[in-house]
Amino acid sequence: MNSAVVVFPGSNCDRDMMVALELVTGRRPVALWHAEAEVPAGLDLIALPGGFSHGDYLRAGAIAARARVMRAVIGHAARGGLVLGVCNGFQVLTEAGLLPGALMRNAGLDFICRDVALEVAAADTPFTRAYGAGAAITLPIAHHDGNFQADPETLDRLEREGLVAFRYAEAVNGSARDIAGILNAGRNVLGLMPHPERAVEEAHGNLDGRRLFEGLLGVLA
């Protein structure tokens, strides 16, 4: 699987994502600077990592969504290429219009950094195929603006079309309907707040995130 990780000023999980992808796929991802106009040919996956792109000025992910590279990311997704946005990457995807809704300030107005229990709500996607439907997993979160909100019609559509990928199994940040991750209509773009790249090896004390990457590898093998 050929992959790239977009690096914005203020990204701080890009190395974590690259290590996770290389660990599972055996291939080192390309580090893709935000000012690039094109992405390398032959990419299967583009990952947008967590962090605080451009210092979260204006809104989290708002400036990064307008970076030059995002036009190429949008084109990659339109061609059916896989796109994964984690934490700040999820925020960027909503700001870029690749996913609906918005990530608001946490309901308690606190930065939350801990492991959380999740339910896999949709297992028939490239990102979740290695989990069973309804699987209970645990992943770490670290965010201040992870409260997913959308209008009732959008929320109903996400539910009806099976585009809610992950759901919090406990009260976390005020997200509508406990949504932790969503997919686009083509199911080739995933945004989620928890960090699967921080749960991929024994040293992390948790391998639940590794299965996400293993599932992708299986799809593209």
- Domain interval for residue 103: 3-220
- Which pLDDT score is estimated for 58? 82
The DSSP call for residue 66 is G
| 41 touches 34 (CB < 8 A) | no
Strand partners, 51: 11
C-alpha closest to that of 38 among 83, 7, 69 = 69
- Element housing 88 (H / E): helix 88-95
pLDDT of the residue at 83: 98
Instruction: Provide the annotated active-site residues.
Output: 87, 195, 197
Give residue 158's pLDDT. Answer: 98
Say which CATH number the domain at 74 has. 3.40.50.880
Tokens describing residue 48:
């947008």
The number of folded domains in the chain is 1
pLDDT for res 56 = 85
pLDDT attached to residue 221:
55
**Hey, what are 78's tokens?**
């339109």
pTM: 0.95
Give the lowest-confidence range in 48-52, 132-136, 181-185: 132-136
Q: How confident is the model at residue 220 (pLDDT cuts 50, 70, 90)?
A: low
pLDDT at 217: 85
Q: How large is the average pLDDT for residues 89-100?
A: 98
What average pLDDT does range 116-124 have in this prediction?
96
Percent with pLDDT over 90 in the chain: 89
